[in-house]
Amino acid sequence: MLAAQGFAASPDFYSVTDFGAKGDGKTDDTAAFQKAMDAAAKAGGGVVQAPHGNYFFAGHLSVPVAVTLKGMWESVPAHNGIRDAGLPKPTDDGTTFLVTEGAGKEDGPAFITLNHNSTLKGVVIYYPDQNPAEEPKPYPYAIAMRGKNPAVIAVELLNPYNGIDASQNERHLIRDVHGQPLRRGIFVDFIYDIGRIENVHFNPWWSMKPKLFEWQQKNGEAFIFGKSDWQYVYNTFCFGYNVGYKFIKTKSGDCNGNFLGIGADDCFTALEVEQCSPIGLLISNGEFVSFHGPDPTMVRVSTNNAGSVRFVNSAFWGPCNQIAKIAGKGTVGFSDCTFVHWDSKKEGRHALQVESGSVIVRGCEFQENKPQVSLGKAVKRAVITGNMVRGTVRVENQSGGNVIVNDNAGDKTESVTK
């Protein structure tokens, strides 16, 4: 049957339809899928194909060692605009998984669990019982990644409550994933060998109806990082969350890593560091925008943080209250960054508000004629040099620590107030 469905005929390829899967959107295909994957695993591994269809699942799946579960998509599909007539719905094209198990609770098993050297590719995961006009129902994670080298490639997470639990594994790969996870997008923790997240974009393609989207903006977290030893994150984006990128300390530890080309738009807080590793977070070529919420702020670093956070060649804009609020005992650095908007209510707020710890601001451009940096009494060290500003350089220094402010270019003479 594989050749008739357009798949290559090979001993290493299996079709779920040969094991009884119907793909009619009504018949529970859980057992048929698991039988197909178990057969591939028994043979030493292989590719289990799910051809075009709407596969209904009342239960959950475990992808065995060395098995790939593959739909028809070679590149991640998109169903943005599905509210509009004439555009394809997730149930009209491709390979779509309709997930129903676990409604009303988060602590059940993930819909799909990946194991050692197993892969999920080319499918749409859709929760048909979620109402796009209401606050979302809790569900367990859509995908859990375990073992060594699990991979999620070219998958659309159209509307899961929780997206991917990428914890308790080694060398996970998450690539070309789009969608609208509602509560949590990707959670990373307990990683002691490098994980990779590439080309992941979370946008409100499924629903921007007021009740649901307001809930998402108040509660949603797109990317959460606990313990990960040198995480690599490249070309990722999120829109419309409470927190875009969140770094926390768990029982396993905290995060260090390389974050290149990441973005967060219309998040109440674009990036929040509760705690990170002393080795640090290297954030380059980022774009961060905040303009809604009770206190729109691009960067927050909490009093618990003792690690190093560095922003390089990044841009910050949107009518926010301030660019950054910084506390803790660690070091936060901004180098060659562009600050476009802040103090939207004209209250005299500084772009960068540093309560404690150490800060480096070098080679940055402040594009508004407003106060740039305030240093609180508990600031230990600060270097603010080589920046360009509109108007007068305005650095408020209440610190008793070692502070260097020089060689900054404004329209008028530099001003440092104590």
Which of the two residues, 2 and 225, has the higher pLDDT score? 225
d(CA 233, CA 144): 18
What is the value of pTM for the model shown? 0.95
The two structure tokens encoding residue 29: 């295909």
Predicted local distance difference test score (pLDDT) of residue 82: 55
Whole-number Å distance between alpha carbons of 217 and 237 = 15
Indicate the SS3 state at residue 102: coil
> CA 76 to CA 124: how far, in whole Å?
8
Spatial CA neighbour of 361 closest among 349, 350, 345, 348: 350
139 has a pLDDT exceeding 90:
yes
* 3-class state of residue 98 by DSSP: strand
Q: pLDDT by residue (tens digit) across 376-416?
A: 999 999 999 999 999 999 999 999 999 999 999 998 655 55
Instruction: Please report, as a single letter, which amino acid is at residue 335.
Output: S
Q: Is residue 38 within a helix (H) or strand (E), and if so which, with residue range?
A: helix 30-42
pLDDT band for 77, please (50, 70, 90 cuts): very high
Residue 66 pLDDT > 60, yes or no? yes
Query: Residues 224, 250: contact at Cβ < 8 Å?
Result: no
Strands (E), 82-209: 95-99, 112-114, 119-121, 124-126, 141-145, 147-148, 151-157, 162-167, 169-170, 173-179, 184-189, 196-202
46-49 and 67-70 beta bridge pairing: parallel
Helical H runs in 118-257?
210-219
pLDDT at residue 11 in the model: 72
Cβ-contact 73, 102 below 8 angstroms = no
- Residue 74 DSSP SS3: coil
Comparing C-alpha atoms, which of 364, 382, 366 is closest to residue 374?
382
Mean pLDDT value across the chain: 95
**Phi/psi at 116 (5° precision):** -55, 120
Q: Are 59 and 27 in contact (CB under 8 A)?
A: no
* Tokens standing for residue 191: 């990683």
- Split at pLDDT 50, 70, 90, the class of 152 is very high
The string of DSSP letters for 235-291 reads: EEEEES-SEEEEE--BTTB-EEEEEEEEEEES-SEEEEES---TT-EEEES-EEE--
What CA–CA distances, in Å, run from 356 to 61, 190, 198, 330, 379? 48, 29, 34, 9, 4
Segment (H or E) for 79: none
Percent of all residues in the chain with a pLDDT value above 70, rounded to a whole number: 94
Taking residues 247-272, report their average pLDDT: 98
**pLDDT of amino acid 258:** 98
The pLDDT score that the predictor gives to residue 416 is: 59
Give the mean model confidence (pLDDT) for residues 26-41: 98
Give, in order, the Cα–Cα distances in Å from 173 to each of 145, 294, 304.
9, 35, 30
